[in-house]
Structure 1
Amino acid sequence: MSGKLLIVDHETTSRTKMKVRLKGAFYDVLGAKNLGEARAVLDAERTDLVLMDARMPDEDPLRFCRNLRASPKTAHLPVLLVTTSNDRNYRIRALRAGADNVLVQPVDNEVLLPRLRSMMRRNEFNDPADLPNETVQALGLADAQTEFQTCASVLIASQDSPTAMLWKRLLSEKAPYDFTTQALGEALQSVTRAPAPDVFVIVPDASDPDTSLRLIAEIRARSVTRHSAVLVVLNSTTRDLQGDALDLGAQDVMVDGFDAEEMTLRISKIIQTKRLADRLRSNVRHGLQAAVTDPLTGLFNRRYAMTHLARIAEQAAIKDRSFAVMMVDLDRFKAVNDRYGHAAGDAVLAGAARRLRGSLRPVDLLARIGGEEFLIAMPDVAKSTAEKVAERICHDMRALPVNIPKLDLGVPVTVSVGLTMGGNHNLDRSLDALIQNADQALYQAKSAGRDQVLTV
């Protein structure tokens, strides 16, 4: 199935006809004859979209929309209202109440299905309901969002420059966004330039509709603009582009031309949706980073190090090259904690990590794998070179105390290094064996007096 839809209509015949149409498009369709039943369905079922008749006799559908938006469970649930007349005032009221759009009967499949696909696509990636409630709360995604978000940028792309400038002036009076204008052809040529606007408002030219459709496709295809929102503004001469625009990736389409109030509401809605998607992506990215990073030093942790080391070994086998594995340990670190305190000890660890990073190549792996123990892996390196690097690490560490700004002092630090080689001459040695050998060499370096390198 393409998704689960709830049809809310008090007329059985209309509800049944719509069910048949949508099931023919491979949607899983639920039905409700009143808004009380609709609430019960939404409480019991995970629903992707609500398609609702605007003439429900038991309750005002607009109040129902407001209630949906007020609940964290349904705050981001797409809602389409279906009316019998193209009433601009009702459409404005519906948008203000939280409806995503208002369709006018009769609605043919060339309008309805692209609109459903667009809304389902948007909600598939933007709905915090897909996350456990604890995760939503922890990431701050349940916080109320203001109607307008400051600092958002909106580009109006139109061939009619004077009209675009007029729209910019009228919209700037209603919304605190940064509005700019550009010709359609120029926007198409500059689509790869950063930073991208938060929203593209695209006004197709009836004499050259392909340029606007290509612009939508390019926005979705380019990494710079892929997450920008797109609002397409049509009129009586370009209305037949609605389905193509939605299927190419537009988040919203206005079909009755420019209306400053309506456009402000629609831009506000898609910016709010974009901000949520941006937050979700950011939190996922930060979560992935936190999963492989040591928070104190900023280095990779053991989990990442083992996976990366395996890739280094695999590439060494393919290329018939050698690689070095080092275990590095701060000498007498317990004495630092005992004398200066654990906060100073943390500062020493962070400072030592920075100094280690400065002794290595960008391609080398550096990870904190224990309290004061670090793992280094150097791909494509000879034993003699690795030993020189290890000696330099010891020298650089002893040469200058690690500064602790809060205590205004420098703490002398030395390290011991255990080194072993893997790769072309040691293909029979597993990663566990290599690490064990490096650890054994480290122990021997400690036993021999510390502040030195030992190779096995």
Structure 2
Amino acid sequence: MQGTILVIDGVSTNRIVLKVQLTAACFQVLQADSLSAAMALMKDNRPDLVLTAMSLPDGDAADVKRALDRMQHGTGVPVIALSANNDRGTRIMALSAGIDEVLPQPVDDMILQARIRSLLRMRMQEDDLHLREDGVAAFVMAPKDAVGGQISQSDASVALVCHDLQTAHKWKARLGASVGYSLRAYNVDAIQDLMRTPVPDVIVIELNEQSAGMALRLLADLRARISTRDSVVIAVPNPADAGIAAEALDRGAHDVLHCGFQVDELALRINTQLQHQHRAEMIRNNLRDGYRAAMRDPMTGLYNRRYARPFLEQVTQDAQCAGSNFAVMVADLDHFKHINDAHGHPVGDAVLIEAARRLQAELRGCDLLARIGGEEFMLVLPNLRRDEVTTMANRLCRAINAAPFVVKGCATPLDVTISIGAIVGGQGERQLSSEELFTAADRALYEAKNAGRNQAVIKGLPQSAAA
């Protein structure tokens, strides 16, 4: 089955007709003859979409929407209302109540099926984002609220794309009287202009009899390109055409005005789609922040052990394929416990932050520096010859000991040194696992510590590098 649809209608004949249509399209259909019966059914079932009559024996479609929003597993379920009165006032009232679509009865099966497919795609995308967000939240702090916040009309831009520029400017003048968005007018063949940064937040495309084919190709192109794939696309058949509207939805339009261009309805649909876009962007930002928090050390901003180990695995594989060398280093600030004991942890934290900054400044863009615990760092340096490892180790030691650390909260500058253990892997060497490489570098670090600290020991080379 493609999904579960709950049909709510007080007229049994209507329910039967809809069940036949939807079952033929491989949907599972649940039926209820009233709002109360539907809510009772929802206690044990979670539909993917609700298809309701505008008027019910104990309420209306707006009541259905409000009841769904009050249910834990009902929020966000798309709602399509079927209205016996196909008038603009009824549609506007329903759309204003949060209903996703209003279709006239008897319903055109082509537009109904296309609208269901479109809404279910959007629902699955939102569910996927929420699943990823929940997964990140399981191992980092709870993300920021992704539901709150409203986008300001002055912050959004809307492109009006029509068969001819005259119509686009006419739509711009009529819509501009109702909304505060930045409006731009385009001809249907102005795809290069649409791609220019910043791309519009919303692209409204006219599908008229002369240019419907070109406009539909443009719609599909916009949805496929990286620069515009996050822009909202709303199609406007002009004049109204159920077949063209259905094709626009199947080609990726987020919404469609199946009754043709109407200012108040278009303004409502733009606002609704922008809110969807805004919430999705907030979730994506939460995901980025969550993954960053999971992979970064919050104090120094360096990567952590969770990120460093897979990175090392990849470097070892790349070195084997390319026949190149690489180095793994484990570095530890000397006598760091004394700094904490003598000056306090805030001073110790400041020393760690400055040490991270100095070490990072010596590295190439392809190198990795990670804080793997306490005062210990791990470095992975791809494409480094054996002689270059010694040079790099010396530079890292000098970066720390060449100048005292001036730290807020400490009356005098602090002399800080570092010990480094390194292992060289790659060409001509036995292939080691990341764990073996880390252990070998850690063992070299202890040799550097035992040799008097403030130096590096590079395993596999005949000499040690003294700082």
Query: How far did residue 41 of structure 1 move?
Result: 2.4
| Aligned 8 A contact 2:54 2:61 in 1 | yes
Cross-structure match for 1:207: 210
| Aligned 8 A contact 1:148 1:175 in 2 | no
C-alpha separation in 2, matches of 1:406 and 1:209: 70
Aligned pairs for 1:251-270 (under 5 A) are 251-270=254-273
Per-residue CA deviation, residues 335-391 of structure 1 (Å, 9 max, x unaligned), is: 222233212222221221121111111111211111111111111211110110010
Cross-structure match for 2:114: 114
Query: How far did residue 430 of structure 1 move?
Result: 3.3
Cross-structure match for 2:446: 443
| Aligned 8 A contact 1:156 1:201 in 2 | yes
Aligned pairs for 1:4-403 (under 5 A) are 4-69=4-69, 73-127=73-127, 138-141=142-145, 143-146=147-150, 150-186=154-190, 188-236=191-239, 238-403=241-406
- SS of corresponding position for 1:30: strand
Structure 2 counterpart of 1:30, which letter? Answer: L
C-alpha separation in 2, matches of 1:61 and 1:243: 23
**Distance change in 2, residues 1:448/1:138 (3 Å):** closer
Q: Which one is further off, 146-155 or 227-236?
A: 146-155
Per-residue CA deviation, residues 120-160 of structure 1 (Å, 9 max, x unaligned), is: 00111224775769969943446445486551221111233
Cross-structure match for 2:464: none
Structure 2 counterpart of 1:202, which letter? Answer: I
- SS of corresponding position for 1:289: helix
- SS of corresponding position for 1:197: coil
Q: Which one is further off, 169-178 or 108-117?
A: 169-178
Query: How far did residue 305 of structure 1 move?
Result: 0.8
Structure 2 counterpart of 1:121, which letter? Answer: R
**Distance change in 2, residues 1:400/1:71 (3 Å):** farther
- SS of corresponding position for 2:230: coil
Query: How far did residue 63 of structure 1 move?
Result: 2.7
Per-residue CA deviation, residues 29-71 of structure 1 (Å, 9 max, x unaligned), is: 2111111111122332222111001121221322332343455
Query: How far did residue 228 of structure 1 move?
Result: 1.1
C-alpha separation in 2, matches of 1:431 and 1:343: 33
Per-residue CA deviation, residues 260-290 of structure 1 (Å, 9 max, x unaligned), is: 2111111111111111111222222222222
Q: Structure 2: which 5+ residue stretches go unaligned?
A: 460-467
RMSD of aligned Cα (Å): 2.4
Per-residue CA deviation, residues 152-209 of structure 1 (Å, 9 max, x unaligned), is: 22111123333333433333333332222222211x2234433222111111242121
C-alpha separation in 1, matches of 2:393 and 2:200: 48
- SS of corresponding position for 1:276: helix
Q: Which one is further off, 161-170 or 84-93?
A: 161-170
**Distance change in 2, residues 1:300/1:179 (3 Å):** same
**Distance change in 2, residues 1:356/1:45 (3 Å):** same
Q: Which one is further off, 434-443 or 410-419?
A: 410-419
C-alpha separation in 2, matches of 1:426 and 1:99: 65
Structure 1 counterpart of 2:254, which letter? Answer: Q
- SS of corresponding position for 1:201: strand
Query: How far did residue 90 of structure 1 move?
Result: 0.5
Per-residue CA deviation, residues 186-239 of structure 1 (Å, 9 max, x unaligned), is: 1x2234433222111111242121221111111111111111111111233655
TM-score normalised to the size of structure 1?
0.93
| Aligned 8 A contact 1:206 1:238 in 2 | no
**Distance change in 2, residues 1:169/1:402 (3 Å):** farther
Percent identity over the alignment is 39
**Distance change in 2, residues 1:361/1:135 (3 Å):** closer
| Aligned 8 A contact 1:356 1:393 in 2 | yes
Q: Which one is further off, 119-128 or 162-171?
A: 162-171
Structure 1 counterpart of 2:125, which letter? Answer: F
**Distance change in 2, residues 1:147/1:193 (3 Å):** closer
Query: How far did residue 22 of structure 1 move?
Result: 1.0
| Aligned 8 A contact 1:149 1:272 in 2 | no
**Distance change in 2, residues 1:90/1:374 (3 Å):** same
- SS of corresponding position for 2:373: coil
